[in-house]
Structure 1
Amino acid sequence: MSVTTIRPVMPGDAPAIAAIYAHYVDHGVASFEEVAPDAAEMAGRIAAVLPAHPWLVAERGGRIVGYTYGRTYHARAAYRWTVETAIYLAHDQRRTGVGRPLYEALLDALTDRGFVTAIASITVPNPESTRFHEKLDFTPIGVMEGVGFKHGAWRNVGYWQLALGPRTIPPPTLRSEPA
């Protein structure tokens, strides 16, 4: 197995990211999108998240095999220290050891930027994703039942939370780049 490199996203990564995500849109329920975005749409999504939130990719042998990012949890200003996280791996790279270091790099980057809470939303049941997040100390905080309809069934969404840093008064200054 080749060495995994974790790095910030670059503009030319959008086609590989779109291809990874398409599998989840087309074949699963981890995403409630019904039509996979193309590379141009994905490039726009990446640009919309940066520089306020990190977006990282994992490469093996020159191939992007996964990506993770943080994004605004809610638009209202009081939520600005809370971030929603996501991770997607190429289907053939699941359970190969790339996910944990990739996600840990994201959590470190979010902490460095001053975020204090990470939220993961998971279509449930999803034992693999649930175990993954709980091994990283995310705590389950609730389930919304039947909020999405995909692939012929109503789907539940669970929420997991992780404290990234102390909730100080005044709150920390958020940075668009790591300290």
Structure 2
Amino acid sequence: MSKTVKSKFTSWAKRGFNQKRTNKIKLFLVLLIMFYLLSAGISMGMLVNSLLIMVMKEKDLHLSSSIMTVFYLYKLPFNYMYIFILSFCLYFLSFIPSRMIWRFISHAKVMMNVTTKDGYVHANKYLLNPDINNSLLLGASDNDFDPKKILIPKESISHIEFFTIYFEFEKEYKREVQTDFIILPK
């Protein structure tokens, strides 16, 4: 989704924030995604079946079903196999918009606060890698390519606190903090 469409939809969804209204919008979007995935699945099934029947008739293969044609595809010229593989790639690419919409509706991020033995707290960090040379790799964002990273040796960590942030329509709506700390052995 483009940023302008996202921002307009977010402002419309959050206008006069009402949990009942938000739930209706979420239900509508979930039903829309389900319909999209169902129609993409049916369309893909019909496309693949028609391709297999076309190959079966063109090559005069006397097989009991179009599924049996799949086993003969490797014997046929490359262009048939290419069309078959391309159709499956297009099918899996059709899932990308639904995943984007699903993440827009609701998602969660896990963050952590790391307290070192000298008392310094690295607050609101993402765990990028839990074991690099017996150290934790923390980042300011969940992007691995972000240059703001910190490598903290496990020996210098006093305790770790995890918390989850839940997002709804790109806005934070709930923060859940773990009550127990993780204390590393000495």
TM-score, with length taken from structure 1: 0.20
Rg bigger for which structure? 2
TM-score, with length taken from structure 2: 0.20
Answer 1 or 2: which has greater helix percent: 2
Q: Higher relative CO (CA 8 A, sep ≥ 6), structure 1 or 2?
A: 1
Answer 1 or 2: which has greater strand percent: 1
